Chain A
Amino acid sequence: ETGVTQTPRHLVMGMTNKKSLKCEQHLGHNAMYWYKQSAKKPLELMFVYNFKEQTENNSVPSRFSPECPNSSHLFLHLHTLQPEDSALYLCASSQRPLADPYEQYFGPGTRLTVT
């Protein structure tokens, strides 16, 4: 148990569906991250939030829409996804986002399958 929870753990959605992934951290951290992990590829950073403000968007397609209502919660809204978006989506948090290297604490991930 890392103190970061994600729901749902598994999600199957059609290309025309709209769904949301949820992440919550109970560590008092002020930075949160979304990562994508595709088969046989390194983790890819998608978004970074610092004190609820988006500080990085790593050229992610607009069909992925993040939302950070407070420092403890992070959402990833999904719409009109493509089959190649099928992957493990991991949320992480850390004490400070970009100024210093801090350990990141990862959630268990959401396994997304787009049909």
Chain B
Amino acid sequence: KNEVEQSPQNLTAQEGEFITINCSYSVGISALHWLQQHPGGGIVSLFMLSSGKKKHGRLIATINIQEKHSSLHITASHPRDSAVYICAVSAGTSGSRLTFGEGTQLTVNP
């Protein structure tokens, strides 16, 4: 079992829909990261959070430390949101050393 589990693995939505991607982890963490990877391969950091909630535009990330769970929400989804979304954790005292989930492939259809 991976230390970081994401669900679903694949998600297809219609433009405008509200999207939720989930991440569960089994280790103590100092921070959780949400990353976005477009088909070209490059990865962009969306959020780094250790408690509560963060919002950036149409993206919202939440984390529940007690339940070892985080969610990434996308409101009013758009085809340009189509990408792989990756959850990663900085575990315990390892600081910036990241452990990654397998990613969620999101496809938003017009």
Contact = CB atoms under 8 A, between A and B. Distances in A.
User: Which interface class (under 10, 10 to 19, 20 to 34, 35 or more) fits B?
Assistant: 20 to 34
Interface in A97-115: 97-109, 111
Q: Top 4 A-B pairs ranked by shortest CB distance?
A: A101-B31, A101-B90, A106-B43, A109-B41
B2 to A, nearest CB: 7
B96 A31 contact: yes
Contacts of B110: none
B49 to A, nearest CB: 10
A90 interface: yes
A101 B44 contact: no
Q: Is the interface of A mostly helix, strand, loop or mixed?
A: loop
Contacts of B95: 96-102
Contacts of B94: 98
Nearest to A43: B100
User: Which interface class (under 10, 10 to 19, 20 to 34, 35 or more) fits A?
Assistant: 20 to 34
Contacts of A99: 95
A88 interface: yes
B92 to A, nearest CB: 10
A109 B1 CA distance: 27
A108 B86 CA distance: 15
A100 B40 CA distance: 30
Contacts of B86: 42-43
A28 to B, nearest CB: 16
A56 interface: yes
